Amino acid sequence: MKTKESIFRLIFLFCAAFSILAVLLICLFLFANGIPAMHKIGLVDFLFGQKWKPGNDLYGIFPMIIGSLYVTAGAIIFGVPIGLMTAIFLSKFCPKKLHGILKSGIDLLAGIPSVVYGFFGLMVIVPFVRNVFGGNGSSILTASLLLGMMILPTIISVSESALNAVPLSYYEGARALGATHERSVFLVMLPAARSGILAGVILGIGRAIGETMAVIMVAGNQARIPDSILKGVRTLTANIVIEMGYAADLHREALIATGVVLFVFILGINFAFNLVKNREK
């Protein structure tokens, strides 16, 4: 018995060490290839330059940073309220028979490939935005709507689990004091689950800022700072995917440096997630 436990302990240790090693190797590759490019271009020119023209040796990614932030913010505006309300309904208001059907649909939504979301956005959301709001349809608004839809499964699943993890005594105590079912849920259980809900929102933000294929298909891919939500935009991820296939020399290094900036954004999101968890503890 002790031998089996030792073997499984070593297996689990190997898996954990492999995961850490993979992250370290990714960091090493990105920073080893990206930092020299930033040095050649100039950190200020690279981060705050407003022109991306590799043919003219201009590698400013500020429009792509702004584009990523705009699209992610739009996805939060559209996705978080719907996801949170859906999670509350599933956890505290949904009939059991309906719960299984809705939960299966949400799980299916999580399994749809990004390119399928992109096709849906291209054929449905782009014409809708073009006909209702104007412009050519490929815009920040379109990408935000699509990403808001894509982050729903993450927010709903994590938020529902957080609500279900709140001790039932919280609800029973509120009801014993005369609170209605709705007040008990929104004024007692929802605040008690805020850390888990916020974790779901942060994970959704990570999904939105890292999405590539669907955004490429609906965002317009214009490397400029937009002056309207109906204008096209290019994100950091889209910039890498679009140009990496033919990039060479400094151009290729600049794209890897763009990956470094994106990686720092993701690290910041994870740090915020851990900070929230530690504060709650």
Per the structure block, which two tokens stand in for 192?
Answer: 């008690």
Q: Tell me, what's the pLDDT at 1?
A: 59
* pLDDT in the model for residue 277: 67
3-class SS of residue 232: coil
Residue count of the chain, please give it: 281
pTM: 0.85
pLDDT at 77: 92
| pLDDT tens figures, 221-267 | 888 888 888 888 888 888 888 888 887 888 888 898 998 888 888 88
- The token duo for 266 is 């993701």
Return the pLDDT at 120.
92
CA atoms within 13 A on the CB side of 81: 5
- If phi > 0 it is left, if psi is from -120 to 50 it is alpha, else beta; for residue 180 that is beta
Could you tell me where the DSSP H helices lie in the chain? Answer: 2-41, 43-48, 62-88, 96-111, 114-120, 126-133, 140-150, 152-165, 168-176, 181-183, 190-192, 194-210, 213-218, 236-244, 249-280
Cα distances (Å, whole numbers) of residue 117 to 149, 150, 163, 273: 9, 8, 29, 27
Query: What pLDDT, on the 0 to 100 scale, is given for residue 226?
Result: 84
**Beta strands per DSSP E along the chain:** 52-53, 58-59
**Residue 222 — φ and ψ, nearest 5°?**
-110, 120
Q: Identify the segments of the chain with pLDDT beneath 70.
A: 1, 276-281
Do 241 and 229 contact (CB within 8 A), yes or no?
A: no
Q: Report DSSP state, residue 56.
A: G
DSSP 233: B
The b/e string for 123-156 (b: 16+ C-beta within 10 A; e otherwise) is eebbeebbeeeebebbbbbbbbbbbbbbbbbbbb
Distances (CA, A) of 274 to 16, 163, 213: 19, 19, 28
Please state, in angstroms and rounded to a whole number, the distance separating the CA atoms of residues 139 and 249: 31
β-bridge partners, 59: 52
Residue-level pLDDT at 97: 84
| Other beta carbons within 10 Å of 244 | 14
